Structure 1
């Protein structure tokens, strides 16, 4: 079953390279503290399946948080806009149907719980300590900082924070996730674990 989920994750649409997806899976599988795995930013479910593979092995649940209206780069006129994802009834991007198909086709509906909302709206309602938090939402400075402020404090001591698209060199990509990673590391409450590509992993120690 794990092999099937990993194969489905690799084949699913999305922007996560296979080595980073596998590293996310390994990080989620290795977390020793209890609690769910929660991701901010799901797109069409690719990363959710990597997390689902670990959750299936370890008896956890994956919670995905996404408004499914797309980030800035997915809007009309931007680089990653796909007109096929626009709901003609409302004239806005809607990735939820594609996400649901991805999760259902992989047989992962029993371990993946989708919450359709903006992360900052859910955060005040959330009290369960997280075993793993994966930050991969909108990459503007404002939204990345908002996700950090809302969710990092909900990670259990001993839990793992995963931040995607961390590029120290501005020539390689946007700097908002790198800012999150840098601020969290500078807090003194986390130690860095080996990362892969643009995926950075940190363990909460205090």
Structure 2
């Protein structure tokens, strides 16, 4: 599949939104979402909503519903002293990173198709019970959390459903290994890889 450019309005909104999604990978995410089964789609890791905008537009076009899950206090790489810390998103009262206010306009723009769950994946996993036509894993990239998120939500992906994993780097020199390990696990547990776009891996449940 050769991904097409994002629709102009979507591309403009994505460009204005803070986050970490290379343009080509965002186009691939949109294209594969557009070709996925309709139904409930789940995004793990919202941050400020860059990929949520991409998935939300695709969901609107194919008649799916998108749920995005994040505690909105940032992953380890967003904390003070780390490379991606953004002091503008620190709540002056709590002293904690808080991306929820920044995400709110994105959620409002997708109010007809997207629901946001504010909480940790550990808590959400206790009650999640909906089959998934698409699962996008882009949350905390520690080994423990990445493995938890896959184990908690991938079993709900229906046959023919799509699993997308972001920030996959086979070479440790390029990035953390947890998403790569998740992909290897998925390949041993009923998924097949159908595409690679930069650090984005696209798999399908057989």
Structure-2 residue corresponding to 1:156 = 158
Give runs of ≥4 in structure 1 deviating > 3 Å: none
Deviation at residue 62 of structure 1 after TM alignment: 1.0
CA RMSD of aligned residues (A): 1.4
Matches within 5 A, 1:26-175: 26-32=31-37, 34-104=38-108, 107-175=109-177
Q: Count matched residues.
A: 201
Instruction: Provide Cα deviations, 1:89-138, integer angstroms capped at 9, x if missing partner.
Output: 2111100000112333xx22221211000112112211111110000001
User: Are 1:6 and 1:53, in contact at CA under 8 Å, matched by a contact in 2?
Assistant: no
5+ unaligned residues in a row in structure 1: which ranges? none
Distance (whole Å) between structure 2 residues aligned to residue 80 and residue 6 of structure 1: 23
Distance in structure 2 (CA, Å) of the matches to 1:103 and 1:68: 13
TM-score (normalizing by structure 2)? 0.93
Unmatched runs of 5 consecutive residues or more in structure 2: 1-6
Match of 1:196 in 2: 197
Tell me the CA shift for residue 3 of structure 1.
Answer: 4.0
Aligned-partner Cα distance in 2 for 1:131–1:21: 19
Q: TM-score, normalised by structure 1?
A: 0.93
Decide whether the 8 Å contact of 2:107 with 2:116 is kept in 1: no
